[in-house]
Amino acid sequence: MLAFITGATGFVGSHVARALAEQGADLRLLVRANSNTKNIDHVKADLVTGDLRDPASLEKGIAGCELLFHVAADYRLWVRDPEEMYRANVEGTRAILEAARKNRVRRVVYTSSVATMGFTSNGQPADENSPVSLENMIGPYKRSKFMAEQVAIEAARAGQDVVIVNPSTPVGERDIKPTPTGRIVVDFLKKKFPAYVDTGLNLVDVRECAIGHTAALEKGRSGERYILGGENLTLKQILDKLAAITGLPSPKIRVPYVLALATGVVDEVVTGRIRGREPRATIDAVRMGRKKMFVSSAKAERELGWKRLPVDDALRRAADWFRENGYA
């Protein structure tokens, strides 16, 4: 079984590669010319150079593969040029699925996100059937992932064997960039969390998330979406868990939404538009925070054998990894 993986140098993708390798799969990994390959240094695999924005490189790289795990995505909550994100996430998904179709790849597992789900302001967990539309998506990242997911769904409707997984918010080791969630851990370790906002996330152990990908390969139904979630936690609960793990104090002051939004406006203008760096707080992130991103994984539990587990160990591994690698 030869599996082609995009995004294997990244956080989730590197864990998917390891999970497949442990199951005995042969791997071919797509890497960009300037990719940091630290996350896959000890993974036995063939590396091919290519880019989601270069269809010819995708067709060449995927030739002869039986399976595709399309994990790669541009995951940022702020980007100077939103079109860059759409090219990677939407058109890149279209290109890799077309390359898989042309090369008669047997099955595709596409990594979407719970960002595409329909969340409400009352905190009720969303699932795969929650009403949602593109108009509900806040910011380029969520919009691009929603549009990319629609590309995958349409491919399945046209007869291609595509299973979609929607991880919630993965946490754990090897969050090399780090992701926006990883930055929460890093900022906490750096004592840069003097206050918190009233929001919530579903955190999932990245190792379990990778195993969920392999379960989707084996048991998932083409065209279906499967939420891979763990614990629904408020931001305050996450910070309290980190405090218990690290011995550092958890913030006690809650910031009102209006103040958080004002902070996002200032940081986005000064840091993003004037200084040209990614802001720590963004308007879109604050707006997204008004809805707790709680989810139900009941469908994956029924059909994939998914198990929801506590995330304390994943948070501990994340904190240890960030410290050991000089992030904090």
Residues 295 and 292: their CA atoms lie apart, in Å, by 9
| For range 193-212, the mean pLDDT | 92
Residues 17 and 45: their CA atoms lie apart, in Å, by 9
- Identity at 36, one-letter amino acid code: N
Average pLDDT, the chain: 89
Q: Give 144-201 pLDDT, tens digit per residue.
A: 999 999 999 999 999 999 999 999 999 999 999 999 899 999 999 999 888 888 889 9
Q: How confident is the model at residue 56 (pLDDT cuts 50, 70, 90)?
A: very high
| Residue 85 Cα distances to 90, 138, 148, 218, 288, angstroms | 8, 14, 11, 31, 18
Residue 28's DSSP bridge partners are 4, 46
Q: How confident is the model at residue 276 (pLDDT cuts 50, 70, 90)?
A: low
Lowest mean pLDDT among 195-204, 224-233, 241-250: 195-204
Q: Give 2-48 pLDDT, tens digit per residue.
A: 999 999 999 999 999 999 999 999 999 999 999 999 999 999 999 99
| For range 235-258, the mean pLDDT | 87
Pick from 230, 124, 226, 111: nearest CA to 169: 230
**Residue 258: its pLDDT value, please?**
46
Residues 169 and 231: their CA atoms lie apart, in Å, by 10
Pick from 263, 268, 264, 288: nearest CA to 278: 268
Report the percentage of the chain scoring pLDDT > 70.
88
| For range 248-277, the mean pLDDT | 58
**Residue 273: its pLDDT value, please?**
52
Residue 201 has φ and ψ, to the nearest 5°, of: -135, 160
| Residue 316 Cα distances to 66, 186, 189, 238, 328, angstroms | 36, 12, 12, 12, 14
Residue 226's DSSP bridge partners are 165
Report the percentage of the chain scoring pLDDT > 90.
75
Q: Give 306-317 pLDDT, tens digit per residue.
A: 999 999 999 999
Sign of torsion, CA 311 312 315 316?
A: negative
Cα(first)–Cα(last) distance of the chain, in Å?
A: 40
**Residue 70: its pLDDT value, please?**
98
Q: How confident is the model at residue 270 (pLDDT cuts 50, 70, 90)?
A: very low
Residues 36 and 14: their CA atoms lie apart, in Å, by 12
**Residue 283: its pLDDT value, please?**
44
**Residue 279: its pLDDT value, please?**
53
The secondary structure element, H or E, covering residue 97 is: helix 92-102
Angle 282-286-290 from CA coordinates, rounded to 5°: 165
